[in-house]
Amino acid sequence: MIKAAVLGSPISHSLSPLLHKSAYAQLGLSASYEAIEVKAGYLAQFINERDSTWTGFSLTMPLKEEAVSYAEHVDDLAKRINSANTLIRKAGEWHAISTDVIGFRNALTMHNIGIRGHVVILGAGATARAAAAACDSSNTQITVINRSSTRVQPMVDAVIESKVDFLSWDELSVLSDADLVISTAPAGVTDSIELPAKTSAPYFEALYKPWPTPASALWASRGGRVIDGLDLLIHQALAQVAIFSGLTFDTGLMYTKLREVGVAALT
């Protein structure tokens, strides 16, 4: 039996339990999956108090960096972005993995959006580092809009091939030159930003509730395609389901089912 949970703070709003339970039901698996409030600094204590019946955990903010420090084994991608959204126990030891990167890549692929040219990322936290790693290639130039100089080096470390530049939130005119915009900013931050009068670039918003955000609605009204954060949540969850279950399955069909239940829950 799979026994798992999503950990974070705040966590009551999370759709992860609905998505995971729906996926395991589709696979005909016996599983439990819940949302548990765990505040920053308490991840190790929480996990150390769990028994060996637990399969693994999904992690959201503010625990993704703590997971990297906690696990005995950290995959190379999670090390690179200093962020893990998945912990799984194998032979009594914890392994930290990131499925956020593949979540970004698969969502863009599903929408037939090529990762090339000038990519602008709004924000510089753990989700932004995952986005940067997902867009990293010799075919992309990445511009990060950030506030804090302390987040510059971690963003640089997240990429291998792309050239990375940094601008402040006062320099959003760069959006008019973008081939792809990814917003990882917290709710409310982009509500009143100045957007290009017209754009053909896709806009990928990591948020999904409430939806649409003012920025995504305005972007769509000015000609750009918009991808919502529910897609990111689903695609990273599909990878977690495969990790926790050890099964392969038709991700396209599973995506359609999870998208249906996710949209219904948000409506």
| Beta pairing partners, 3 | 32
Q: In what order do the strands lie in the sheet with 117-122?
A: 163-167, 140-145, 117-122, 180-183, 203-205, 226-227
Distance CA 6, CA 8 (A): 7
Q: Where are the domains of the chain?
A: 2-99+231-266, 114-224
When the pLDDT of each residue in the chain is averaged and rounded to a whole number, the result is 96
Angle, CA of 130, 132 and 134, to the nearest 5°: 70
Distance CA 26, CA 41 (A): 35
- Which tokens in the block code for residue 73? 């084994």
How many residues comprise the chain? 267
- For 174-186, what is the mean pLDDT? 95
- For 223-248, what is the mean pLDDT? 97
CATH level 2 (architecture), domain 114-224: 3-Layer(aba) Sandwich (3.40)
- 2-99+231-266 under CATH 3.40.50.300, yes or no: no
For 117-142, what is each residue's pLDDT tens digit?
A: 999 999 999 999 999 999 999 999 99
Note the pTM of the prediction, 2 decimals: 0.95
